[in-house]
Amino acid sequence: MDKSFWKHVHKTVQKFDNYHPLARIIIGTGLVVLGVIGIILPVMPGWIFLIPGIILVFPFTKKWFGKN
């Protein structure tokens, strides 16, 4: 993927930095759960929910696993 794609992703993630962290965790976790359900069920595409959910929750994973 080219650099412009990653710049766009970084801009999008920065927009969500203003939201309350608990709201990001709840929404991101909900999207990840929907994505996993979508992977299991053939009716619903899972990646549409999984990727945004991971993007929302990713900044908190370093704190959860004790990495600074």
pLDDT tens for 20-56 read 778 888 888 898 998 888 888 888 788 888 888 888 8
Instruction: Give the Cα separation of 46 and 50 in Å (integer).
Output: 6
Is the pLDDT at 63 greater than 70? The verdict is no
Residue 37 CB-half CA count within 13 A = 9
**Dist. CA 54–CA 17, nearest whole Å:** 14
Q: Which amino acid is at 6?
A: W
Q: Measured between alpha carbons, how far is 61 from 39 in angstroms, rounded to an integer?
A: 22
Q: Residue 42 is inside which H or E element, if any?
A: none
**In the predicted structure, residue 8 carries a pLDDT above the cut 80:** no
Q: How confident is the model at residue 19 (pLDDT cuts 50, 70, 90)?
A: low
